[in-house]
Structure 1
Amino acid sequence: MRLDIVSIFPEFFSVLDLSLIGKANADGLLNLHVTNLRDYATDRHRTVDDTPLGGGAGMVMKPDVWGKALDEIFPEATLGDGERHVLIVPTPSGETFTQRIAEDLAGADHLVFACGRYEGIDFRVAQHYAERGVEVRELSIGDYVLNGGEVATVVMIEAIGRLLPGVIGNPDSLVEESHGSAGLLEYPVYTRPVNWRGQEVNPVLLSGDHAAIARLRRDQALEKTLRRRPDMIQALRPDQLDSDDRSLLARLGWCVGENGVRPLEIRELESGDVDRLHALAIRTFPDACPPFLSHEDIQQHLDTVLSPQSIHSWIDNPHVRVIGAFLPQNSAAPEGDHGGEASSDTGDGRTQAEQTAHGEQLVGYALVVGPRADGPIAEKCPKQLSDEHCSWAHLSKVYIDQKWRGSGIAAALIAVSADMASQMGATSLWTATSTANKRAAKSYKRAGMTKKGGRTYTVGTTTCRDVVMQMTLSSASPQ
């Protein structure tokens, strides 16, 4: 790649000799030329500016001087050679320079940086060279004003030049760094000593487990990006995010849908949420049932265990936590699921507008029964667990709207449920899921629960087989 810089301060760019760009230029990986604009002025004072036409403050750089300089850099024969020639004008009124633009410009054959000063370069210069077939880009490195384009040019050359083959010794660093192809800010980095002023690095970094290290760094990059640049999180494509990414983002308040990443709220439900929870419960339970259950058995379960009265009793019970996952109204369904109509049928006989009357839609829920709960809701701890010296909480239910499976919401609800169980004084959390529901068992396992055996469970008049799973809670905070 050839790089040309035109400026009234050519000595400013000696700083590039101190960086990898200077080494790349010396090694022939790029071809850098700096031109003094004043060499093309015609008067004895080497004047390059004049007062603005129409009046106003400051001075404007003259088009005739710029034309002479750029004509030498862009001779007529050059513009028909089939190569990509780009004239870059640094200006605070330009398009914001980003890593994606740097990657695009790194693929050009010839870049020319026109460093303006004062009030800028006569606009006809950019127009003229665009008409001649030069690609003209007006670019800004930020929402602030500098005295000239030189600093911005150095920034852009550093960003573009390091992407050229051979300039960076380890090309993998281009993937992992902030704003790289991963679309995230870079994870925190550490070196020796391991303990510095009372601060120790995460022991995973010392474990030699490359998969665990990669996961830790990925999690840290996601958290850092979410904290500092949530706009970058929203720009991620769903196919860039694996199940662990989705689980972490959901725990941090973001849900991955078919059309991108969107805000998610997980909170305890209140009495005003009963109708929405009932609608979700009767929609999701049949979908999770084994195929041999009859419609009558399922309906009996819906009419008793999942009735509005039962849900009210959950919410009113001080030893029970009912946790809901909510999406904003304008994010409530993946594109196409409801035809784009706010009043479309949601599948439970009610419209989406009715579902989102509070400006949000309930898309998942979990039910945690604490150690002190009694009555019908307090299911007996399975015999394979009851002999263990633990204070048990029961993760009775975790259900997600079918449209949002794979979004990470289930993992987030399980994590919040574990925290709630700990706050209620439990030291272990158990759950049970149908042996036919492999998807649910996999979600529980991924969340840290282990299989402990089985049990029977009755739906309507039919006896079903469940897998019993358990996790030990990190700490308990008895109420």
Structure 2
Amino acid sequence: MCFDVISIFPQYFQPLDLSLLGKAQESGRVQINVHDLRNWAEGTHRSVDDSPAGGGAGMVMRADVWGRAIDTVRKPGRSVLAIPTPSGQLLNQRLVERLAQSEQVVVACGRYEGIDARVAEYYDNVVEFSLGDYVLNGGEVAALALIEATARLQEGFMGNAQSLMEESHSEEGLLEYPAYTAPQQWRGHEIPAVLKSGDHKAIARWRRDQSLRRTARRRPDLLASLQGLDSRDRQILAEEGWLLVPQLAPVVIEEASVSDIPDLAELAARTFPDACPPGIPDKENNRFLEENLSEDAFTRYLEHPDEWRVLVARVPHGIVAYTLTGMNAPEEFHRPGAAYLSKCYTDREYRGSGVTSALVEKTVQLCQADAIVLATNIGNKRAAKFYRRMGFRKAGRRKFFIGNYENTDDTFVRDLTHKS
């Protein structure tokens, strides 16, 4: 691959002879030619700029000078003309990957108020790019960044090709996980224990979790393009305040307030029947809702925070999930001192978004108990599978009544004595 850089400060590019770029040039994998724009200027002073048409501050670089330079160095074939400018598209990994497929990239480093706009209009296969929302004195710094980011994608450039797969902005679009090395303790900070465990599966999962968390915290704009996420991935993103289902949206998990009571009762009425076994008459379901999940019922729960806790998952348009947790489990669970996850429901369109997992995990973390128990109907296999994935194990069975209708529930327990 060949880079031809045109600038009025060719000495700016001496660092390109260093490190891996220097080695790549020596091996012939990459060719970098730096040209002085003034070689194509005319007149005694070899001027490359003039006053802006229409008036205004500063000077504009001349199209005729640039045209002669570009015509000289540009090769036929897969050639791209790259022009650094604050008004260009953001230079990101996707753009770099596209440029890396070119045979030649000609980089036109403007100065002053930029290059006469007719240059970009005249040539084909032009990329105007920017490093970010700020202004530099010229295009040289941006050119250096583009060359290094593009050259390192050439085959054989990196000693370990796996490095390209795991770094930030790789094909998957996540930021890279944090890296550590010796010493194991430095100024009171330890290397995370999982990295010293030798458990490669656990290490891989930890690194992916960290990549997801970093991306959610630092670059949430990247989340919408993520593909192929599993349930754990979605849980991590929800814990960090973002849902991708049904669309990218911020989410907050917090304790319910009095103002939430009408929305909670409405959500409960809409979701409770989904978990009920078939054959329960509507009037019995409605009676249960009135006694346990109505506005009056949620008012009682919120008035007794020493006995009950209500957590909600809130998106911009309202509450989409909630948990209701009792501080003391009923005697039928035979777990004195355990907390009781009485209700956990999510709006249908947000199931599979990770919000339920994040909500349950937050509920668990807030529990001041050595265990948390719950029960779900024996026919609700989807719920049983979900709770097992969340660290609960089956503990037994109980009878549960909705009105006069007897149901059988599987009971589950999650030990919290080692809760982090």
TM over 0.5: yes
The structure-2 alpha-carbon separation of the partners of 1:258 and 1:272, relative to structure 1 and needing over 3 Å to count, comes to closer
Give identity over the alignment, percent: 47
Counterpart selection for 1:325 from 313, 322, 342: 313
Residue 308, structure 1, aligned to residue 251, structure 2: no
Superposed counterparts of 1:17-56, under 5 Å: 17-56=17-56
Deviations 1:395-454 (A, max 9, x none): 1111111211111121122122223321xxx22211111121122122222222222122
Cross-structure match for 1:399: 345
Counterpart selection for 1:410 from 356, 360, 364: 356
- How large is the Cα RMSD of the aligned pairs? 2.2
The alpha carbon displacement at 1:297 in A equals 4.1
Cross-structure match for 2:80: 86
Of 285-294 and 464-473, more deviation after overlay is shown by 285-294
Residue 126, structure 1, aligned to residue 137, structure 2: no
The structure-2 alpha-carbon separation of the partners of 1:403 and 1:51, relative to structure 1 and needing over 3 Å to count, comes to closer
Whole-Å Cα distance in 2 between the matches of residues 273 and 59 of structure 1?
A: 60
Contact preservation (8 Å) 2:215, 2:222:
yes
The alpha carbon displacement at 1:99 in A equals 1.7
The alpha carbon displacement at 1:302 in A equals 2.9
Whole-Å Cα distance in 2 between the matches of residues 309 and 7 of structure 1?
A: 74
The alpha carbon displacement at 1:257 in A equals 0.8
The alpha carbon displacement at 1:273 in A equals 2.4
Provide the secondary structure at the position in 1 that maps to 2:301.
helix
The alpha carbon displacement at 1:162 in A equals 1.2
Whole-Å Cα distance in 2 between the matches of residues 313 and 54 of structure 1?
A: 73
Provide the secondary structure at the position in 2 that maps to 1:143.
coil
Provide the secondary structure at the position in 2 that maps to 1:178.
coil
Residue 382, structure 1, aligned to residue 324, structure 2: no
The structure-2 alpha-carbon separation of the partners of 1:191 and 1:275, relative to structure 1 and needing over 3 Å to count, comes to same
The alpha carbon displacement at 1:26 in A equals 2.2
The structure-2 alpha-carbon separation of the partners of 1:455 and 1:169, relative to structure 1 and needing over 3 Å to count, comes to same
The alpha carbon displacement at 1:188 in A equals 0.9
Cross-structure match for 2:105: 111
Cross-structure match for 1:346: none
The alpha carbon displacement at 1:475 in A equals 7.5
The structure-2 alpha-carbon separation of the partners of 1:137 and 1:221, relative to structure 1 and needing over 3 Å to count, comes to same
Counterpart selection for 1:164 from 154, 161, 167: 154
Counterpart selection for 1:457 from 390, 394, 400: 400
The alpha carbon displacement at 1:310 in A equals 2.6
Cross-structure match for 1:248: 236
Gaps of 5+ in 1: 330-360, 372-377
Residue 73, structure 1, aligned to residue 73, structure 2: yes
Whole-Å Cα distance in 2 between the matches of residues 104 and 311 of structure 1?
A: 56
Deviations 1:263-300 (A, max 9, x none): 11222223332222222112111111223544454344
The alpha carbon displacement at 1:145 in A equals 2.3
Provide the secondary structure at the position in 2 that maps to 1:257.
coil
Q: One-letter code of the match for 2:265? A: H
Cross-structure match for 2:261: 274
Superposed counterparts of 1:430-445, under 5 Å: 430-445=373-388
Cross-structure match for 2:320: 363
Q: One-letter code of the match for 1:455? A: R
Cross-structure match for 1:289: 276
The structure-2 alpha-carbon separation of the partners of 1:42 and 1:309, relative to structure 1 and needing over 3 Å to count, comes to closer
Counterpart selection for 1:265 from 240, 245, 252: 252
Whole-Å Cα distance in 1 between the matches of residues 215 and 152 of structure 2?
A: 23
Whole-Å Cα distance in 1 between the matches of residues 116 and 296 of structure 2?
A: 75
Contact preservation (8 Å) 1:52, 1:60:
yes
The structure-2 alpha-carbon separation of the partners of 1:62 and 1:415, relative to structure 1 and needing over 3 Å to count, comes to same
Provide the secondary structure at the position in 2 that maps to 1:429.
strand
Whole-Å Cα distance in 1 between the matches of residues 258 and 46 of structure 2?
A: 80
Contact preservation (8 Å) 2:290, 2:297:
no
Q: How many residues align?
A: 418
The alpha carbon displacement at 1:236 in A equals 3.6
Cross-structure match for 1:2: 2
Cross-structure match for 2:409: 466
Provide the secondary structure at the position in 1 that maps to 2:367.
helix
The alpha carbon displacement at 1:308 in A equals 3.4
Q: One-letter code of the match for 2:150? A: I
Provide the secondary structure at the position in 2 that maps to 1:323.
strand
Q: One-letter code of the match for 1:421? A: C
Residue 138, structure 1, aligned to residue 128, structure 2: yes
Of 459-468 and 430-439, more deviation after overlay is shown by 459-468
Provide the secondary structure at the position in 1 that maps to 2:385.
helix
Gaps of 5+ in 2: none
Provide the secondary structure at the position in 2 that maps to 1:214.
helix
The structure-2 alpha-carbon separation of the partners of 1:460 and 1:29, relative to structure 1 and needing over 3 Å to count, comes to same
Whole-Å Cα distance in 1 between the matches of residues 150 and 379 of structure 2?
A: 54
Cross-structure match for 1:152: 142
The structure-2 alpha-carbon separation of the partners of 1:252 and 1:128, relative to structure 1 and needing over 3 Å to count, comes to closer
Provide the secondary structure at the position in 2 that maps to 1:368.
strand
Contact preservation (8 Å) 2:84, 2:128:
yes
Of 396-405 and 282-291, more deviation after overlay is shown by 282-291
Q: One-letter code of the match for 1:404? A: Y
Deviations 1:364-409 (A, max 9, x none): 11111113xxxxxx632423x35xxxx2111111111121111112
The structure-2 alpha-carbon separation of the partners of 1:270 and 1:26, relative to structure 1 and needing over 3 Å to count, comes to same
